[in-house]
Structure 1
Amino acid sequence: MRYLRTARRGALSSCRPNGYPRRVDFVRYLVRPELWEDLPADWAELFGRDAPLGVEIGFGNGEFLAETACAHPEWNWVGFETSLTCVVKAGRKLAQVGASHVRLGLVDGRFALRELFADETVDRVCVHFPCPWPKRSHAERRVMDVGFALTLATVLRFRGRFELTTDVHSYAQGAASDLGDAGFQVSGPEELASVGPGSRYEAKWRRQGRRIWRLVAERGTKGSTLRTAEGTMPHARLGKPVTGDDIRAVVGLKDVWTGGAFVVKGAYLSSDGREGILRLFATDCGFEQQYLIAVRREDGATMVKLDGAAVPFRTPAVKRSVAAVAAALEER
């Protein structure tokens, strides 16, 4: 991999009888795909073996991943979460069972599934108890929608499986409709009376007497999706030096277009005012990123490039923002 320069709960300990993991053991499972030069990734190379590949989106505290890793060591698993606390807790559980075939990513799973996995390379995708986001104004935050169904149809192998577990029957029904439209053979949603994935949310909802629903969909027709996070690291070289006033003047620069937007939120100058860091926010079809652009002097010129302290995925909005900042500074 090339980089950019910049069991049930009670059964887990039986897989690793030598005791509880250290506090930093989770780090061994963490991957940083935003630093990878080549996307989609070669997961067989990353794991060091060719094996069936499973993905869990929204793994919570890692109960399902730890149990599955212990029960099925012949599989490679990748999990995605947006909470660092969840990544730490899941990593500790994996260290406790001694799993070596699981990786964790701190990134939106919808984006990750589309951008990090090549066509027809995934055997199984699981989503357990996603937030239903019932309000219409929150629809873009839902994991399951038409776009996600098309991503599944693209990255899953023929007859690969998608599994959804939820306590919201209407959410499962909507997912079944989207998956059916994308060419999947859908079974369910059906009530799950027995123990399901074993997550903390399942335990919580069962204590409250809620009904649990499960849906399984098998890929039929192959889909296609547009990937955006690829290409080289964006940068620009200006043929002149810029001043601190020039850098501050860029704050507020923004652009909005169908499917994306960016805005420069703030500027931080060096002590001599000759260089600076710009803080930006960007969105690509709902995938949000915050990052930094560095404005530095080099040999009498000025370099405008992403700062290594907060490297984002190289999406169209990020690339567009670097070019726009460079153009604004050039015009000063």
Structure 2
Amino acid sequence: MKLNIWKRGTTPDVATLGGLVANRRPGPAQVVPGLGMLPLFGGAPHTEGVYAPPETALRLEKVTGYGSMILENRDLRPTLVPLHMGYLQKGAQNHAMCRSWVLEGRSKQRFDDACCIQAAQGGYMKETDERFIVLPHALRKQAFSLRGQKSYSKLWSDIARFNKGMGLKERGHLDELKQRRQPELLRMTHQLERLPGQTGAVFLRAGEVIGLELAPDPEFWAELHRPLVMYCYGPLALEAPDAPMGPSLELDGAEDLAEVHARLVRLTEARTAWAEAVLAGLGRIPLASPGRQALGRHAIVDVEGPLVGQAVLRDGAPVYASLTRA
């Protein structure tokens, strides 16, 4: 079912998650202990190649003060600043965004409501082309609620609680996650691998949708997939690896390779059916869109409900979204 999520001259009516994925189709689910990923394909028409991929295009020019970041788009094409993207740099206070944005080609933008994600560390971040991260799922609702607030330390206590839950030092240093758990998180990016042509994903835990991530095209998703799996959703699997997931492979009683192959075929069929059921169920998850910000042909829409985050519309069609379970 396709929903009209845009009314000219009014705030877009994002009635359900189904409206955001109306032009997407699912692939077979991928599962690791405690976390599932449902790959999505397709997207809004006429958007392939329109946007420069974020890691290639975006450069952190500098941090001008604690809580202020300047991002530069080095590409001729516009690019989308992913919601809650951040940078980790040794010897300086790491920062992350509280909002998403559209940066036109060859342009810069200063954001004064960023959050410092490394307490008690002196020094401003300098220009970097390093890979970006996306804030962990457990921090995103709070970070989203703090957009527009100028306070560099606003996320420190939440980071400390997150670290404690992960068995890390209880302090406001998000780099603890990278330093202590990077091998496990990196391995997860190979287990929940990006597929050719993929443009998004639904993330699930214990049978519940915990995140929806959409990119405009496969080129953009290719640079968004890794930070999402590694830093945003991967920690959930490390935190609770025993959370029940969808259909899994049972090898007990298999007498030969032919039987194993037959079970793999049945598992693929079961996961495909499960994926289709999950996508159909998104149409029943209600959302509200309390506000938007117009940027030329684009609009950044705040989304609230069981999942919260932002979507970016181009001429009324959703080209990007990042929503996580509230």
TM-score norm. by structure 1 comes to 0.24
Query: Computing the radius of gyration over CA atoms, which structure comes out larger, 1 or 2?
Result: 1
